[in-house]
Amino acid sequence: MATDKVFPTANLPGLDPTDSETYELIRRAQASDAADHLLTIRQALHKYKKACFWAMFLSTSLIMEGYDVVIITSFYGQNQFKNRFGTVQANGEKIITAPWQSGLSNSSLVGQLAGLVINGWCQDRFGSRVTLMFFLAWMACAIFIPFFAPSLPVLAFGESMCGIPWGVFQTLSTSYASEVVPTVLRPYVTAYVCMCWGAGILLSSGVVRAVVNLSGDLGWRLPFALQWIWPVPLFIGAYLAPDSPWNAVRRGKPELARRALHRLRKYSETSESDVEATLAYIEHTTRLEQAETSGSSYLECFRGTNLRRTEINAVIWAAQILCGNAILGYAVVFLQAAGFSEIQSFNVNISLSACYIVGGILCWFLMPHVGRATIYMAGLAFMFCCLICIGGLGFATGHNVNIAVGVLLVISTLANMITVGPACYPIVAETPSGRLRYKTITIGRFVYNLTGIFSNSVTPRMVQATSWGWGAKTGLFYAGTNLLCLIWCWFRLPETKDRSFGEIDVLFENRIPARKFKYTKADQFAHVEGHDTIGSPIGGEEKKLEHEHFEQVESGFATSRAAGGATGIVSV
């Protein structure tokens, strides 16, 4: 065991542990945190089934984004869409050229960038429910533009207008889900966000396959029209849903937070003292974060320890594409370039999309036993091997080669959705500080969309025979980007499994290296140890803290108290 040591943090203004009211708040917060850590998965599901329902219901909004991602890229290989909007080639065949493929795919991403920025402000100011309802209404109106689009420029404009609410849904669903459930359930509800995105992809793959034999414009307009199914029921659900208690406290509305806590728990097992203890924990953690990140502007995300949190969010989001997922987004075109027919490519695409659901469920069984960082890096390593094999097959031809490419794509997609895909969401939800959570996730998703713009600009050119013509060799390019992400994760990605938001704050504030996150004992209530049970300060300058296996250095504790009693940790 390494030398036991206390790492006192800097003085946090406005937090005086000698104040009886502050001490009582901390005492109740400590009790709530301890109770939260004792919950088993079964107990948490029983007590917080309402919270799970609302988190999963509002996450359903991401189905619409996942649906359109595959709809628009699948249209590039659909005959009806090519006949309506394609450019005639020298051989008389109509295709959607690589520049227009990039333009259509990127137009929605540009809209999403705007939506991400808007959500960072709206969710902090108006809360999750009101923000979601407004942009669901926006979505219902925006769908008219691509449905009636007479040309590719109008379709691109419609995609950008639809992209704005998708950008809002991306961060809103993740942050809301992470805030309404206890620590033990957080990886499941946040991973479900990824499954909703995958459900949209599966649904769109099935729809595109179902309309492949329809003639005329109905073949591409009908899939767009089906998006009108979602806004109305989701709007009603958002109206009835409780607010996030964390969001309510940050907006200075403790009564709203108290009502939300009552609604998120099983009524028969929720006492007033239980709710008050949880509310105290939220208020305590928020006070610490307010003292550290006063003002809570986007610039704060790039200062001090928050810069490291922002870096983690940005790279983890970008790695979702750079791990090789970019090929999966162009699966239909990629498979046709590898030699599959139109019907065959759509059939394989359905299998790829089904992996999003199957993989997400399998990941749920891994979450209680394996850390997020371990799952994430294992997935990157496995996908790297698959991409090397796919790229190597690009140098061969033949029917058996095509089958091998299709099989490897399915295996790689399944691996992605057991590991990298769902593990991303608890990581990006847990690593930001509470006051900067929406903004940090927004920045990370912004980087994700910028990476998507890059990918959408180069991947069609790599795959399409009339452009760069790499075909399956594209796998080698993304094997390289995958390897870079894997190396970064080894040195920079911390393990947050079974950590409360407060403990994660302490670890980041004390600049614990990523490889030591898992083995470091964190105590966010260290500054309260110098008080007796009724809340008055204990006399004396120093107090030796006894832990079961840890002995705190007295001078360190004295320094911590002199600095204002900020949070501290015990390193092992």
Cβ proximity of 471 and 338 under 8 Å:
yes
- List, for residues 225-254, the tens digit of each pLDDT value: 998 988 999 999 999 999 888 888 888 888
pLDDT of residue 544: 37
Q: Which residues of the chain have pLDDT under 70?
A: 1-37, 267-271, 288-296, 329-334, 337-339, 342, 465-466, 524-572
The token pair at 257 is: 């937070």
Quick one: 58 and 34 in the same domain? Answer: no
* Alpha-carbon gap, residue 313 to 174, rounded angstroms: 13
The reply to whether 262 falls in a domain is: no
Tell me whether residue 260 is in a domain.
Answer: no
CB-hemisphere CA count at 13 Å for 384?
Answer: 15
CA dihedral 288, 52, 182, 194 (to 10 degrees): -70
Tell me the three state secondary structure of residue 199. helix
Task: Decide if 229 is inside a domain.
Answer: yes
Its pTM surpasses 0.85: no
Does 271 map to a domain? no
What's the pLDDT score for residue 6? 35
C-alpha torsion sign, points 338, 356, 376, 74: positive
Q: Is 165 found in the same domain as 211?
A: yes
In Å, what is the CA distance from 491 to each residue of 373, 484, 494, 513? 11, 11, 9, 8
- pLDDT of the residue at 486: 96
Same domain, 86 and 20: no
Q: CA dihedral in degrees (393, 78, 111, 149; nearest 10)?
A: 160
> Tokens 């199914």 appear where?
229
pLDDT at res. 26: 62
Q: What are phi and psi of 477, to 5 degrees?
A: -60, -50
Residues 234 and 214 in one domain: yes
Number of domains in the chain: 2
Same domain as 365, residue 300: yes
One domain, residues 463 and 527: no
85, 116: one domain: yes
In a domain? residue 268: no
Domain boundary pick from 492, 527, 542: 492
Please tell me the number of Cα atoms within 13 Å of 490 on its side-chain side.
9
* Shared-domain flag, residues 310 and 198: yes
For residue 261, being part of any structural domain is answered with no
pLDDT score, position 153: 92
Both 418 and 506 in one domain: the answer is: no
Cα–Cα distance for residue pair 146/28, rounded to 1 Å = 53
571's enclosing H/E stretch is strand 568-571
Residues of the domain holding 22: 5-38+501-571
Structure tokens at 68: 């359109």
- Of 492, 510, 543, the residue that ends a domain is 492
**180 and 111 in one domain?**
yes
Whole-number pLDDT of residue 12: 42
CATH number at 117 reads: 1.20.1250.20
Amino acid symbol at 153: P
CA terminus-to-terminus distance, the chain: 6
Look at residue 237 and tell me if it is in a domain: yes
Q: Are 334 and 465 in contact (CB under 8 A)?
A: no
Q: Are residues 387 and 415 in the same domain?
A: yes
Domain boundary residue, one of 443, 472, 492? 492
Q: Is residue 259 part of a domain?
A: no
| Same domain, yes or no: 317 and 349 | yes
The structure tokens listed for 405 are 């490419």
